[in-house]
Amino acid sequence: MVRQNGILLEDILKMDCMKNCKLIAGYKGIKNTVSRVNIMADPDILDWVHEGELLLTTAYSFRKENVIEQKKFIRQCSEKKLAGIGIKIYPYIESLSKEVIELADKLNFPIIDLYYATPFSDIMTPIFKEIFNKQASLLQRLEKIHEKLMNAMMNNFSIEKITEVVYESVRNPVLVDLEFPKKTIIKFDCEDDKTKNLLLKNLKKFYKESSSKYRDNKLYESTELIKGKYIKRMVMPILVKNHLYGYIFTWSTNTPLGGFDFSVLESASTTIALEILKILSVMEVENRHKYEFIEDLISLDNIRRAEAVERAVLFKLNRDNKYVIAVININRSTNAEDAALSDDSFQKKITRLANSIEKLIGDININGLVTNKTDSIYVLLSFNDNEKMDLKLEIFSNKVEKLLRKSLGKFKFRMGIGRQYTGLMNAYKSYMDTIKAIRAGDILDENCVVNFEDLGIYKILCHDSLKEELMKFYNTTIKCLVEYDIRKSTDLVKTLEAYFEYNGNLKKMSQALFTHYNTILYRIQRINDITGMDLENAKDRLNLEVALKIKKILQNEEKSGI
């Protein structure tokens, strides 16, 4: 939409040049902004008119046209978004037809009956003069507002202060809603409680519809029904490096919104974007220092770890506390839509998530730090002897999982939580546990959040040093069964897994595998024969159950290319 500065049609009708003229249709458009005036001297004038123009003409052409053509002309004027049309009806025709008047009313398109004896020049000149004066005044006001916003930026004023400048300028309710830093600033000082609530509901309505038509990152203008009245709403996006970080909202509950207000919102959006960019730059530097600290802390090199411990005071960490490390790995190639996400957008998502987790651990009253790099987030949690560590860890795990599911949508993720170790120098052990938890989680494929303490026998089986022994154990237990299934297209391994899942209950196994009871008995016997073991023997039963777990580990490593 072309931005218009000018004067209201309502104010023009009060001017001396419009004496003896009257509005005869389209009364609801009386607050349209007139940015210029034009005269219709040619039937094809609509090919050259501009939005916001007040068109002056006579009814001479109306006398020659039938009602259908007259209605077509009015509809075209409305579609061109003219501010209205002034027609000298007398002496060319007695009056406009009732159908034309009704159409103009329906379209909220103003029609003014111009006094026949007033020359067009006597109307155009004072209106142009008034528009010029108004625009000159607006330019002066905009210059002052621009100075205020620049001062705010140069003097490190808060986003709240910038919002106040906008509120004082547009003289209407203003709301700044930011995704980062996460905050909503409301300036509804002149509104009653009912209006405030209605405006907040209108805000929610915007976000409900924003998944599609509001995501073009441009100013969106609409007419909203508030307290039984239609008012204009402007929504200005706040963009930083082409990424959307929030919106500025304003509603015309007190004064009309026009080109001046657009300019104010545009300047404010740029100023807030610069402030966000400054915050992001500081955070980027902080994140780099935190990541370097964590990288040294989890190193197997004693010297690097010792150097990290020496820097711990910078992050307000007590070297003698108990420490737990959690790592979140995020897979960005889950589906075509997510894979197409640009690197910048993906990193922005990860950074926002890390910030949310940092706020979350603060809310739980856990000391620590959060950092991120590429597709991973690292969390270092610190506990003293007096804290209820197990309870806080459980709350942390549940809240982070809920946050990850909500924030990541279709992205797959895995979070591993290591066990606690006393002393910052030993925190690297928790990190090693975390990696094992993530690997075991990939094998089990049960939960997105895996706590090392809950892994049971997988704590042992996931040790890298045991890989050769695990392979030998697998080869001497169920490898023959796996190969038999491949050669004969049978389901003996699947049957063995069901055996342990249902504690050897043949009836439940039969139901789960949709297989006859006698067939299950036959398969159990074939498993015993092929493996040379007996499921009735406790030692053989344990070996086969462990062998199935090893099989999952080896298959996962093969899939991962390890």
Q: For 312-371, what is the HEC assignment?
A: HHHHCCCCCCEEEEEEEEEECCCCHHHHCCCHHHHHHHHHHHHHHHHHHHHHCCCEEEEE
CATH code of the domain occupying 464-560: 1.10.10.2840
pLDDT higher than 70, residue 131: yes
Fold entry, domain 156-279: Beta-Lactamase (3.30.450)
DSSP codes, 195-224: HHHHHHHHHHHHHHHTTTTTTTSS-EEEEE
Average pLDDT over residues 242-248: 89
Q: What is the distance in angstroms between the CA of the first residue and the CA of the last residue of the chain?
A: 57
- The residues near 416 (Cβ < 8 Å, ≥ 6 apart) are 326, 327, 433, 434, 435, 436, 437, 438, 441, 450, 451, 452
User: The tokens of 50 are what?
Assistant: 């501009």
Give pLDDT, residue 469. Answer: 79
* 157 band by pLDDT with thresholds 50, 70 and 90: confident
Give pLDDT, residue 3. Answer: 46
Give pLDDT, residue 90. Answer: 92
CA distances to 112, 117, 408 from 121, in Å: 16, 12, 64
Task: Tell me whether domains 156-279 and 464-560 share a fold.
Answer: no
Closest by Cα among 389, 386, 392, 367 to 317? 367
pLDDT tens figures, 511-558: 999 999 899 999 999 999 999 999 988 888 888 888 887 887 777 666
pLDDT higher than 50, residue 463: yes
CATH code of the domain occupying 298-455: 3.30.70.270
DSSP codes, 421-445: EESGGGHHHHHHHHHHHHHHHHHH-
CATH architecture of 7-130: 3-Layer(aba) Sandwich (3.40)
pLDDT higher than 70, residue 149: yes
CA distances to 64, 329, 375, 414, 557 from 326, in Å: 82, 10, 14, 10, 22
Residue 94, φ and ψ in degrees, nearest 5: -70, -40
pLDDT higher than 60, residue 216: no
Where on the phi/psi map is residue 26: left (φ > 0), alpha (ψ -120 to 50), or beta? left
Give the domain ranges of the chain.
7-130, 156-279, 298-455, 464-560
